[in-house]
Amino acid sequence: MIPYGRQSISDADVEAVVAALRSDFLTQGPIVPGFERAVRERVGARFAVATNSATSALHLACLALEVGPGDRVWTSPITFVASANCALYCGAVVEFVDIDPDSFNMSVDRLAEMLVLAEQNGTLPKVVIPVHMAGRSCDMAAISRLAGQYGFRVIEDASHAIGGDYRNRPVGDCRFSDITVFSFHPVKIVTTAEGGLALTNDEALGRRLDLLRSHGITRDPALMSKESDGAWYYEQIGLGFNFRMTELQGALGRSQLERIDAFIGRRRALATRYREHLTDVAVRLPPQDGEAVSSWHLYVIRIDSTRTNIDRRHVFDALRGAGIGVNVHYIPVYLQPYYQSLGYRPGLCPAAERYYSEAISIPLFPGMTDVDQDYVIEHLERTVAK
């Protein structure tokens, strides 16, 4: 089976993890701060807080922005459930902004319309979480302008997008947002097995993220309210969690990060080859680079129903039958039974539902060979010829 995505682990990665395992610290040592520094220097943000997953980082980001009961958080329906769940963890209400059918990202026009209505009704969001679907940045300048106008905060869910650019600067620089989150799950661009990271340029937010990651405990005398009892003394000054990344994970991430340019280069070359070769297939290809340059985490094609009667299910099953590990990203979050139990109904976001009925993610990962890719192309030509 050719998978839709796969990690790429080198001997250097293995050696880095083994060295961490033989070191004095398995957790809370020097490696994770080194990894944080490497990521923030690469993307150009001031503060970085590594966590045990992007889900945890999104949760911390919401808490750092003081999302709580009675607040509204808006996100895209075409995302992994974690982009919405993070708001529910904080007791907030989630609302979904329909997607732009061309970019698969949250539609800025739809966002602007919903904000006008929400302002009239007194139901403005506290936080908006745009998701950089498949690794291609949302129009962050426009979203940031709306944030200024309507007074909401912005968390970029850039789980797919480390290595991508927006307006010639790396995704993650937080130029147009309060906090940006990356995921290091194995199918993502760079992996730590499980892991995530939150970036911000705001020192107070950075401090809050750091505190919440580790139980709300500080050893910084400046933050303490009582006299120190001695050198062992620490204070819990808020209610935090244990969302820390281990040294083994940090070592893997640090080593992986050395190869990010090669990973992105190969992904981009494969995406270009798909575009060049999928010319006789009744599918719509993903958008090309413009102001946003994708990291190509996913290559999502859409069955073009104006040109073929063959449905997505048939194409999906035929490709799986040929040993091609296609997948679908994503089922609209609000169609999940849990969200249905909260009262969200089908029909809420028509563009997202239409997208869901047509989308297939076809294989793309750095270790994929041209021969593998030719096999995928040949089977697509056979299954959905124009």
Binding site for ligand PLP (CB under 6 A): 53-55, 79-80, 82-83, 131, 157, 159-160, 183, 185, 196
CB 27, min distance to ligand PLP, A? 18
CB 362, min distance to ligand PLP, A? 17
84-89: long-range pairs with CB below 8 Å, 24+: 84/333, 84/334, 84/339, 85/55, 86/55, 86/58, 86/59, 86/61, 86/62, 86/129, 87/62, 87/127, 87/129, 89/59, 89/62
CB 253, min distance to ligand PLP, A? 12
Peptide bond into 234 cis (omega under 30): no
- What are the φ/ψ torsions at residue 181 (nearest 5 degrees)? -120, 135
Map tokens 């970085």 to a residue. Answer: 48
CB 164 within 8 A of CB 295: yes
Q: CB nearer to ligand PLP: give 157 or 178.
A: 157
Q: CB nearer to ligand PLP: give 2 or 333.
A: 333
CB 67, min distance to ligand PLP, A? 16
Q: CB nearer to ligand PLP: give 126 or 185.
A: 185
CB 249, min distance to ligand PLP, A? 11
d(CA 131, CA 162): 12
CB 254, min distance to ligand PLP, A? 17
Query: In terms of Cα–Cα distance, which of 45, 334, 362 is closest to 199?
Result: 45
Q: CB nearer to ligand PLP: give 196 or 206.
A: 196
Q: CB nearer to ligand PLP: give 105 or 255.
A: 105
CB 374, min distance to ligand PLP, A? 28
**Kind plus residue range of the DSSP H or E element containing 148:** helix 140-150
Q: CB nearer to ligand PLP: give 132 or 254.
A: 132
**Kind plus residue range of the DSSP H or E element containing 12:** helix 11-21
Q: CB nearer to ligand PLP: give 16 or 54.
A: 54
The DSSP-derived string for 79-146 is S-THHHHHHHHTTPEEEEPPBPTTT-SBPHHHHHHHHHHHHHHT---SEEE-B-GGG----HHHHHHH
